[in-house]
Copies of this chain bind each other. A is one copy, B any other.
Amino acid sequence: MRRHLLAAAAVLALCAPAAQGIGQSVDRNQVNRLIDEGTNRSQVVLTAAYLSDQIGSRLTNSPGMRRAEAWTQAQFTKWGLRNVHKEGFNFGRGWSIERSSVRMVSPRPIQLTAIPIAWTPATNGTITAPIVVAPMKKEADFAKYRGQLSGKIVLVTLPDALSDEPANSPFKRYTAEDIAKQDVYREAPYDPAAADRRLKRLDYARKMDAFLKAEGAVAWAQMSRNDGKLIHGEGYLFGANETPSLPAVEIAAEDYRRLARLAKIGAAPTLEIASDVRFDDSDRQAYNILAEIPGSDPKAGYVMAGAHLDSWVAGDGAADNGAGTAMIMEAARILSASGVRPKRTIRFALWAGEEQGLLGSMAYVSQHLATRGPANAPQATGMASYYGFSSRWPITPKPGYADLAAYFNLDNGSGKVRGIYAENNAAVVPIFNEWLSPFKAMGAGAVVMGRTGGTDHVFLQQIGLPGFQFIQDPLDYGSRVHHTSIDTFDHLRPDDMRQASIILASFLLNAANADKALPRQPLPTEPVVTDPFKYADDED
């Protein structure tokens, strides 16, 4: 650790002239005021608790998400943010769980741990039927089960026999070595065939639903990918005319494996499924929430921080992404309460539809920043648009493209900031080293080159805009909390969220006041595939 700190200090000393290159008109007392506001008058824990506990899960277009849209706007307004508004985009149906139960009734009664899969229909009372274990994952699998599924609850996952033997603790903080390993420049992969493969898999979900329905199955079930009775319930068919026709549940791994063993060795168990779920089609638009601290120079453009407000439904969306949302909102509150008057506008964005394919931030890109061609391509919807977006060329900047000076995204749980990813934007390294330097004693000392993916900075990066994520201590987010039934407030770390909110506020203020905007990468053009001799794999 000590060696790491010395090395970081040496890098910083070398970089000081470069950092001065973009200029810093910021009042250096300001950082102490942000720390004071974010420490002694912090609201971030209350914000995270309200989102997680009072509002709870926030599946896009669900009643929970609608409450969150209203409440977050009200909070921004209360804290003095300006231009608070929502921006809609086409999404699909609202869906929520009112009550659910899955129970084995024979060979013996036992209450199972299970959850309805998102956007599957209600059972309209109780379905009682024997199971059949019929593992399937591609259309070619259908043939072997034809004629055998009528009146059955179909278990479609091939169960593994035994539980995991995890080698690591589920709770982790990064060592200096863990962080140093991420300081590596790697080419961004480009595989234009990947989108097709993914679209095919998405299409498979529709075909399986149709097949099972045609065969007379009464419901289907899949197995949780986590051990330890954790469940998720993700589903991706949310469009107005594409929600599934059959009720379906995800069953905890222990319970699913027991069903499969019983079916293999004797009479198939009978299940009783009650899935009281509700659709809401009153508004098919999803909404991003936006709020601002106006800049003093209307021609200087804006910097932005964002987190997705939507969640899955098994837990309360606390780490994913109540924590990120609360820290974005807290940074806004800290800056507003500190009375800053930045040169550039600071915009805060709370995205919708992230869990279904970064759809909120994708909509923002299309609405404000750039179009991706061909312009006359049939516009895919839902998850399909996510898979296809990256392979649409060329990128045509909109007038607003030049205005966005930097974007910071939070979507890695509630762990404290340990540094920041330069995301292959090598030119920002010395600048971020300078901006981080007040926070080394708070644990945030590292600028690493690594690229991160899977969340709302991706589509901004892909059009050549500087989009970043912070290095955060992983805690138990990836190991057991991500999308599961224990994504609850008690798995957040309050101290960490206070620290991260302060550092985000400081980064935003630095970016907003820098004389020059952050260095950009060139406008991307369609890559030449670098390995023309590679045979594509059918499975991705």
Q: Are A254 and B166 in contact (CB under 8 A)?
A: no
Q: Of B163, B265, B266, which one neighbours A491 at CB under 8 angstroms?
A: B163
Q: Are A265 and B49 in contact (CB under 8 A)?
A: yes
| Residue A99 is within 8 A (CB to CB) of chain B in the complex | yes
| Cα–Cα, bound, A107→B49 (Å) | 14
Q: Are B98 and A101 in contact (CB under 8 A)?
A: no
Q: Are B230 and A490 in contact (CB under 8 A)?
A: no
Kindly supply a per-residue 1/0 record for chain A positions 99-118, scoring 1 wherever the CB is within 8 Å of any chain B CB and 0 otherwise.
Answer: 11101000111110101000
| Cα–Cα, bound, A229→B97 (Å) | 19
Q: Are B257 and A486 in contact (CB under 8 A)?
A: no
Q: Tell me which residues from 187 to 202 in chain A have a Cβ below 8 Å from any Cβ of chain B.
A: none
Q: Are B98 and A228 in contact (CB under 8 A)?
A: no
Q: Are A490 and B253 in contact (CB under 8 A)?
A: yes
CB contact under 8 A between A261 and B53, given known A230-B228, A490-B162: yes
Of chain B, the residue at the smallest CB distance from A64 is B108
Determine how close the nearest CB of chain B comes to the CB of A342; give it in whole angstroms.
34
Copies of this chain present in the complex amount to 2
| Residue A489 is within 8 A (CB to CB) of chain B in the complex | yes
Q: Are A98 and B108 in contact (CB under 8 A)?
A: no
Determine how close the nearest CB of chain B comes to the CB of A264; give it in whole angstroms.
10
| Residue A316 is within 8 A (CB to CB) of chain B in the complex | yes
| Cα–Cα, bound, A7→B150 (Å) | 64
Determine how close the nearest CB of chain B comes to the CB of A105; give it in whole angstroms.
9
Q: Given the complex, which residues of B lie within 8 Å of A111, measured CB to CB?
A: 97, 99-101, 115
Q: Given the complex, which residues of B lie within 8 Å of A110, measured CB to CB?
A: 56-57, 97
| Cα–Cα, bound, A266→B54 (Å) | 9
| Cα–Cα, bound, A230→B252 (Å) | 12
Q: Given the complex, which residues of B lie within 8 Å of A493, measured CB to CB?
A: 162
Q: Given the complex, which residues of B lie within 8 Å of A258, measured CB to CB?
A: 53, 316, 488-490
| Cα–Cα, bound, A315→B254 (Å) | 9
| Residue A177 is within 8 A (CB to CB) of chain B in the complex | no
Q: Given the complex, which residues of B lie within 8 Å of A167, measured CB to CB?
A: 169, 171
| Listed residue (A103, A171, A316) with the most chain B CB atoms within 10 angstroms of its CB | A171
| Residue A161 is within 8 A (CB to CB) of chain B in the complex | yes
Determine how close the nearest CB of chain B comes to the CB of A326; give it in whole angstroms.
15
CB contact under 8 A between A254 and B488, given known A53-B262, A228-B230, A261-B49: yes
11 contacts between A and B (CB under 8 A): A49-B265, A54-B266, A97-B110, A113-B229, A162-B490, A228-B228, A228-B480, A254-B486, A254-B488, A257-B488, A257-B490
Q: List A residues at the B interface (Cβ < 8 Å).
A: 49, 53-57, 64, 96-101, 103, 107-111, 113, 115, 161-171, 227-230, 253-255, 257-258, 261-262, 265-266, 315-316, 475-476, 480, 485-486, 488-494
